[in-house]
Chain A
């Protein structure tokens, strides 16, 4: 029953696609054909079916006559099949193409929430691509380098935020040319931001940070000239203002990730949330280092965690890759005495806290350290 069903479909596709025509519908049928071949491979283990499916997916993904999201689907499906078959070369190429197409598929012309919805569908793509790049393990090629893996990861996850940073840059240029128009634009954007859909899963419920004051006191003993904002003084505007004139930041606050409006996530302050959007719209040109003693700052999710947002921000100014520019949520055990204590005490729950140790072999080059993640 099964084989005849697929065989009929495959035979008819072959008749149409031999040779394939220039009509986009031919390519679409080709993608359907690839899907049927992949199915046959899954059911029968026929390696020829898998090879043919991957080649057909490659043709579909490369056809610029198709819309970006259909090409993205083809590239993603082909890459996943290549992984299952152990075809690392084509798999890496398809993953790289899929990540490139993410930016086109979630293009600026569509509503931001639609962009986010589309990107959420491919939430696992960057990490799968990175895993593939590492698993390929071919140091003689660019594709097999860990740097390629990190690049896949950050490019995929940073699409939305990167766009936001670009918008800010554009606005800065507009501000120089026509300040009135720039102000009007800001007003309009602010109004649109105001109707962002709230995340029902996000909660502003705050457990007390029992040891944040002790953490701050210890930091101030180490850096007596540092500006310290806490309690009523730690307002969103005050923090943003200070961030514009400082290069090192330390936050001991609650972190929030917003799954519905990713750029709405951020750090909880006295009078509201310092959002990723707020940070992205500022040009923190002097920023070099940030320590986020807060949960949800670097977790894996379709949303953009605030740690990654800051990493991208810093990289935009330092012209370096994000992973080399920011330390966030790291285990401070080797960083300084206060960080050791932070790890033990600042979490709101037992066991919550940074999970990796910081290889601080060059303390004067903090900004070059790879980003470390918290599991909070």
Chain B
């Protein structure tokens, strides 16, 4: 959860025009996906 929060915070602080935006977006997407899987993994009811 903390990783997810930090990646979101980092993304929000970055302008879409900034060269690091895509990197931070990718971090956020990976963190979101991981969190979603952890919270509701259909393989582990």
Residues of A within 8 A of B (CB): 1-2, 5-6, 8-9, 12-13, 16, 23, 25-26, 28-29, 32-33, 35-36, 39-40, 42-43
Please, which residues of chain B bring their CB within 8 A of the CB of A23? 22
Q: Nearest-CB distance from B18 to chain A (Å)?
A: 12
Q: Is the CB of B36 within 8 A of A6?
A: yes
Are A29 and B40 in touch, CB under 8 angstroms?
no
Question: For B35, what are the chain A residues with a Cβ–Cβ distance below 8 Å?
Answer: 5
**Are the C-beta atoms of A25 and B23 separated by less than 8 Å?**
yes
* Count of residues in B whose CB is under 8 Å from the partner chain: 19
1/0 per residue, CB under 8 A from A, across B14-45: the answer is: 00100000110110111011011101101000
Query: Which single residue of chain A is at the shortest CB-CB distance from B11?
Result: A12
- Chain B neighbourhood of A1, CB < 8 A: 39
- B31 vs chain A, min Cβ distance (A): 8
In the complex, chain A residues whose CB is within 8 Å of the CB of B11: 12
A contact residues around B16 at 8 Å (CB)? 16
- Closest CB of chain A to B25's CB: distance in Å? 6
Within the complex, what minimum Cβ distance (angstroms) separates A84 from chain B?
A: 11
Query: Is A9's CB under 8 angstroms from B39's CB?
Result: no
- Chain A residues positioned under 8 Å from B33 (CB to CB): 6, 9, 32, 35-36, 39
Tell me how far the C-beta of B10 lies from the nearest C-beta in chain A, rounded to whole angstroms: 13
Bound-state CA distance A29–B26 (Å) is 5
Is B22 touching A36 in the complex (CB atoms < 8 A)? no
Say yes or no: A6 contacts B22, CB within 8 Å: no
Bound Cα distance from A35 to B39, whole angstroms: 16
B22 touches A25 (CB 8 A): yes
Minimum Cβ distance to chain B for residue A36 (Å): 5
A-chain residues with CB within 8 Å of residue B25 when the two chains form the complex: 12-13, 16, 29, 32
A-B contact pairs, 6 of them (CB 8 A): A8-B8, A9-B33, A35-B30, A36-B36, A39-B33, A42-B37
Chain A nearest CB from B39 CB (Å) reads 6
Give the contacting residue for B32; candidates A29, A36, A42; CB below 8 A.
Answer: A36
Q: Is the CB of A12 within 8 A of B23?
A: no
Smallest Cβ distance from B24 to chain A, in angstroms? 10
Task: Report the Cα distance A350→B34, complex, angstroms.
Answer: 47
**Bound-state Cα–Cα, A16 to B30, Å:** 16
